[in-house]
Chains A and B, each alone.
Chain A
């Protein structure tokens, strides 16, 4: 089918993910491409390239498809990428669009054999009369070549749109979640998956709640969590039953009756859920806040941070222009002491859980000059206005930072601002606290 989209739209980044060591950073875009960046090793000689990320590999992961039965186009946009833990020299990752998950293997080739007996350097057969002795081919170095190949295609597992994938700590299975169902797959088996959650009502007319995100626990291979459009989290134990419709724990904050409006439910819908590295906490993002939950306390979150509360009085406008349905992601730093999430106007926010300080930063060309220090930004809501403050009404709602990622061990963050990727490094505090 001919693409009717403008070229720039295909470049819109739709997911960002560091691998387990932070050496590689993968991005997926609306055009179905995956671009992997690799961190250059710090070199004492070249002072400028201290651990910067360069393009390592680019490949087309998904293509647009047409579902003839429903007369619907299946978008090639990459919804999520998840790295597999590295088990040998090769790297592997899972990438998914709305319907199909693919396992890609990324290998390097930096040597090639030379000195064949029957063929010459160009691969042509030698004139045998010129061969007087036998030689053993030797591996000689060559320019690095990165090869990516699709190893598995996990198709036809989902009727609805896939919103999450998560690799299990057992490194053998992974789950994929769509609006109504969650499936468990074995990484080596593509023609079968097990349905572990199904919230589809018998009568679709009765549907009032959908699954919005899900993730495996980082250490306990039997536990996973999924979030809903009504703002609840369900922790499930796969040992309890084959079909985990009954949750082990239900995390839900009671609604504040004094804050109730027609938009209460929409803004309570959880757009992202992430376990902390420790496995003890969960981080959720809803439209106006990020919340930290303790796995041992279901009644309410232990911490709530306001991302952009100044939007609370603008919800009707945001409903009209559909911004209220934007799905922001959230991230922990490696030590679980700082959390980060995106906002509008290319702003992103960080909250320090220990000091309770927060900061608003901007991902823009000006702020990303090499070695420039990011200047904290402020949104003013009337009242005293400082010089560089932005007023709420001049925020650009088309510049949304939905996808952010934090290096697993260092203070390096990747921010996707529409079709630009920004990587910021805290050189001063490169160690996590």
Chain B
């Protein structure tokens, strides 16, 4: 594996937990959805879904997903900003620690829970709230759904992060016997090994289940960096175009830009 000072890999950022929970999580997800429905939340999708009140744990999960994707994207860009990567990784670690403490890390956000992605980014008040306010709202260790009716709907789920949690993703099938060993480090090692050894044909396979529109570099750079070229700079309400794809869309659509990005990585 190339030893790239810029491509730094943080410790204790446990990606595995979230991929493995994929299968088991489905049950929980459905249960959660049903429970939400029972409690009168309308999760039927579309605008109705957008008006549902996500709990603190779901919002926290969204933040975690977003952070993991940001970290992964770091490895796709030319020379990642180390300070930014460190700060994001620390944030991920904090979330995971908290989730481990209140035992909610088993619960996976409902996959495409009929919650259509929001076209606009709404104020995510709850995650910025002080601890004191949140104390009354945090879910109990059995992953109860803490309802906070005065909350604004939170972040849309990020499609490619969900794809990461998809157990069928060949991203994590490279060596299934290694899956049981802990650590983010090993998983990423596998990715880099695979990228170096395999041909571009199988690299396509590697990214098969990932929503390639997220890896469209133009969209990514426009969405992530908030450059003057992007249309989303008109305020907080704008939403990154890269994450606007509905979770249920085909993941194999156009791999052209993805190939290009991977070529840069592996110099094939």
A contact set with B: CB distance below 8 Å: 6, 8-9, 12, 70-75, 98, 159-161, 179-180, 203-210, 212, 229, 257-263, 265-266, 269, 312-323, 325, 392-398, 418
Do residues B235 and A207 form an inter-chain contact, with CB atoms below 8 A?
Answer: no
Knowing A258-B131, A313-B128, A316-B128, the reply to whether A205 touches B81 (Cβ < 8 A) is: no
Do residues B267 and A71 form an inter-chain contact, with CB atoms below 8 A?
Answer: yes
Do residues B127 and A315 form an inter-chain contact, with CB atoms below 8 A?
Answer: yes
Closest to A73 in B: B78
A37 to B159, CA, bound (A): 49
Do residues A316 and B124 form an inter-chain contact, with CB atoms below 8 A?
Answer: yes
A312 to B125, CA, bound (A): 9
How many B residues have CB within 8 A of the partner chain?
56
CB distance from B152 to the nearest CB of A (A): 10
Closest to A316 in B: B124
Enumerate B129-174 residues with CB–CB distance to A below 8 Å.
Answer: 129-132, 155
CB distance from A353 to the nearest CB of B (A): 29
Do residues A72 and B155 form an inter-chain contact, with CB atoms below 8 A?
Answer: no
Residues of chain B within 8 A of A257, CB atoms compared? 131
A24 to B219, CA, bound (A): 41
Do residues B86 and A398 form an inter-chain contact, with CB atoms below 8 A?
Answer: no
Do residues B6 and A317 form an inter-chain contact, with CB atoms below 8 A?
Answer: no
B248 interface hit (Cβ, 8 Å): no
B84 interface hit (Cβ, 8 Å): yes
Sample of 12 more A-B contacts, CB < 8 Å, known A266-B91, A396-B235, A397-B235:
A70-B4, A71-B265, A161-B79, A203-B11, A204-B5, A261-B131, A269-B83, A269-B87, A313-B125, A317-B121, A322-B84, A397-B236
Instruction: Pick from A161, A204, A258, A392: contact of B81, CB below 8 A.
Output: A161
The interface centre, meaning the residue of A75, A257, A263 with most chain B CB atoms within 10 A of its CB, is: A263
| 5 interchain pairs, CB-CB under 8 A | A72-B79, A212-B83, A260-B130, A317-B121, A396-B233
B15 interface hit (Cβ, 8 Å): no
Do residues B240 and A320 form an inter-chain contact, with CB atoms below 8 A?
Answer: yes
Knowing A314-B128, A320-B121, the reply to whether A397 touches B91 (Cβ < 8 A) is: no
Do residues A71 and B264 form an inter-chain contact, with CB atoms below 8 A?
Answer: yes
Do residues A265 and B90 form an inter-chain contact, with CB atoms below 8 A?
Answer: yes
A398 to B236, CA, bound (A): 11
Do residues B5 and A317 form an inter-chain contact, with CB atoms below 8 A?
Answer: no
Knowing A160-B5, A265-B87, the reply to whether A317 touches B131 (Cβ < 8 A) is: no
Residues of chain B within 8 A of A265, CB atoms compared? 87, 90-91, 94
Residues of chain B within 8 A of A315, CB atoms compared? 127-128
Residues of chain B within 8 A of A266, CB atoms compared? 87, 91
Closest to B237 in A: A393
B227 interface hit (Cβ, 8 Å): yes
Residues of chain A within 8 A of B131, CB atoms compared? 257-258, 260-261
B226 interface hit (Cβ, 8 Å): yes
Instruction: Pick from A203, A263, A313, A398: contact of B227, CB below 8 A.
Output: A398
Knowing A6-B229, A71-B264, the reply to whether A395 touches B91 (Cβ < 8 A) is: no
Residues of chain B within 8 A of A322, CB atoms compared? 84, 224-226
B232 interface hit (Cβ, 8 Å): yes
Do residues A394 and B66 form an inter-chain contact, with CB atoms below 8 A?
Answer: no
